[in-house]
Amino acid sequence: MKKIISFILTLIIVLTQGNIIFATANDKINLDIASKSAVLMDAASGKVLYEKNSHEKLPPASVTKVMTMLLICEAIESGKIKENDDVQISETAASMGGSQIFLEPGEIQKVDTLLKSIAVASANDACVAMAEYVGGSVEEFVCLMNNRAKKLGMKDTNFVNTNGLPVDNHYTSAYDIGLMSKELLRHEKISKYLTTWMDEVVVGKKQAKIGISNTNKLVKHYTGATGVKTGFTQEAKYCLSASALRNGTQLIAVTLCAETSPIRFKDATSLLNYGFANYESVKVCDANEKITTVKFPKGSKENVDLVSKDNLSILIKKGESKDFTKKVEIKEDISLPIKKNTELGVVKVYKGKELIGESKIVTTEDIDKASYGEILRRMIDSII
């Protein structure tokens, strides 16, 4: 089909006069972080506000499960699996050591129960059961983990298993953990479990109730905590990906290789406190908010609204003014018909020439080709 439309709309949004100023990893920040590696990241934009050896490749222990949970959530939202699906537990899954919910070979569990057990109890056996269910095998699921890591830009990562139990060549970095935690937090389905302090599950062929509790103490003790995951092995030492939301600003603090559990929580608390004290988010648009209208002369509907696929916020330093440019870019070649939620462009936010945020823009309905009669009617109407 011939080129339908090609344009760029540029809108200047001036909330007040001035410039946005961001902190960078090179800012001199007086934080006493004892963990070997750490990063503080804005969950909306991925902007790094603080880092210490953030790209050093280290074993992540059970923080690995952030990626496992992400793939499960994406499989649910894509329709590949359902939360109430039955999962039969294999011998392999039941044989996992470490943190577990003591699944038995042959028993049946729901996807939702296994996901909760991973998020709250860090259950290694549930990880393997879900890996086999989603990927067909643990090995295939690990391939999916590494492929997803590449798509997220996780350049310091190689996964070998689903749960972070000690194994050669299994590593990631504080920065990469921030990236996958950021992606996981986009899924509302998991948020209820990431913030669950205590619960119970029914397991085994005798249907025994066992209590489960969250190893992330910040869920109970830090205001606004939203997750995400702890980890510990003798090699990895004490690891943590912690997130919190306050006044519309969501931050992620990652600490790796802390000598003790209290140190990882202290470091994460210090990072989050620093972030909330110095930064705030400015909302550009909400998910499903109308961004622009596109004209389709040969479409079943001539004028079609495009909306933002995701929430879009910009992180700024507190006290700085809010002056930025929003630019809407529409794809040049668009062929009909088009399905609902098809990406047709992007809305980008700039500070000067620097891109500081963006969101895909999508259709709100199906668009078919117009009939010849409809096109003729439009031509007559335009003449009249």
CATH code for the domain of 309: 2.60.410.10
357 and 220 belong to one structural domain:
no
* Annotated catalytic residue, options 45, 122, 243, 270: 122
Say whether 62 is catalytic.
yes
Range of the domain at 139: 37-258
Same domain, yes or no: 301 and 242: no
Question: At residue 232, does pLDDT exceed 60?
Answer: yes
Same domain, 138 and 212: yes
pLDDT above 90: percentage of residues in the chain: 69
DSSP secondary structure of 285-330: E-TT-EEEEEE-TTBSSSEEEEEESS-EEEEEETTS--EEEEEEEE
Q: Are residues 306 and 250 in the same domain?
A: no
Could you give the number of structural domains in the chain?
2
Do 161 and 168 form a contact (C-beta atoms < 8 A)?
no
Three-state DSSP state, 194: helix
Tokens of 66: 């952030």
- Considering the domain architecture, whether residues 74 and 200 belong to the same structural domain is answered as yes
Detail the DSSP E strand segments found in the chain. 8-14, 37-42, 48-52, 86-88, 108-110, 198-203, 208-213, 225-233, 237-246, 249-258, 279-285, 290-295, 303-308, 312-317, 323-330, 343-351, 354-363
Q: Which DSSP string do the residues of 90-134 spell out, in sequence order?
A: PHHHHT--SS-----TT-EEEHHHHHHHHHHH--HHHHHHHHHHH
Is 352 within the bounds of a domain? Answer: yes
Domain membership flag for residue 275:
no
Both 162 and 136 in one domain: the answer is yes
Q: What is the pLDDT of residues 91-111, one digit of tens each?
A: 999 999 899 999 999 999 999
In a domain, 265, yes or no: no
In a domain, 210, yes or no: yes
Annotated catalytic residue: which of 65, 116, 182, 237? 65
User: Are 336 and 379 in the same domain?
Assistant: yes
Residues 77 and 125 in one domain: yes
Same domain, 45 and 164: yes
- Examine the pLDDT at 318 and tell me if it is beyond 70: yes
DSSP letter at 62 equals G
Mean pLDDT, to the nearest integer, of 185-198? 94
193-197, 272-276, 280-284: least confidently modelled range: 280-284
Cβ neighbors of 32 (< 8 A, separation 6 or more) are: 270
Residue 266 falls inside a structural domain = no
Q: Mean pLDDT, to the nearest integer, of 302-326? A: 86
Which of 54, 62, 117, 270 is catalytic? The answer is 62
In a domain, 57, yes or no: yes
pLDDT at 255: 98
The pLDDT of residue 379: 76
- Residues 81, 199 within the same domain: yes
> What pLDDT score does 171 carry?
98
Residue 147 main-chain phi, psi, to 5 deg: -65, -40
pLDDT digits (tens, 9 = 90+) for 156-176: 999 999 999 999 999 999 999
pTM: 0.85
Residue 259 has pLDDT above 90, yes or no: yes
- What pLDDT score was predicted for residue 27? 52
Q: Is residue 272 part of a domain?
A: no
| One domain, residues 240 and 299 | no
Of residues 279, 217, 292, 211, the one with CA closest to residue 249: 279
